[in-house]
Amino acid sequence: MNSCDRLFKVMGGTIEHDVCQYIATMLQEQAVEIHVGCDSQNYKRNTIYVTTVVFRFPGNGAHVIYRKEKVPKIMDLWTKLWGETERSVALASLILHECNLRVEQIDLDYNTDPSYPSQKLISASSGYIASLGFKAKAKPNLLMAAWAADVLCH
């Protein structure tokens, strides 16, 4: 990730923060679990990707920061969804290597139900994520980071 990729906003806010500096501040407050996720949405001429970091305070709620990215419209579903995996992995790797913190879980906004097209990516995405030492979860599991990314995409 380059330096501009490190700028995230608080859900509901407008000020951009360096993701590692923000994580360091959050870790000073209380124990947290870090979840990462991404969702995408096609609009007229663009695909919007929203990548999120969810700070989960066990038994005490959660807090979300996010990054929104606009790219030329991606019509191929596999390519668009794989972009979600790539962005989530890049962020989890940044958090691990530059913030010295392990991500608890990467949330995949893919459905395990074979009737959904995203199901075809679960094996490849979760295998790739596992090969890098991260844990991936998909629907119907609780996916706070994917849920937040979905809300912010609309």
Over residues 59-90, the pLDDT tens digits come to 788 889 999 999 999 999 999 999 999 999 99
Q: Could you say which residues of the chain have pLDDT below 50?
A: 3
The total domain count for the chain is: 1
pLDDT (0 to 100) of residue 1: 59
pLDDT (0 to 100) of residue 48: 95
| 3-state class (DSSP) for residue 29 | helix
pTM of the model as a whole: 0.90
Contact 115, 4 (CB under 8 A): no
Max CA pair span of the chain = 44
Q: What CATH code is carried by the domain that includes residue 145? A: 3.30.420
- What lies within 8 Å, CB to CB, of 82 at 6+ separation is 121, 124, 125
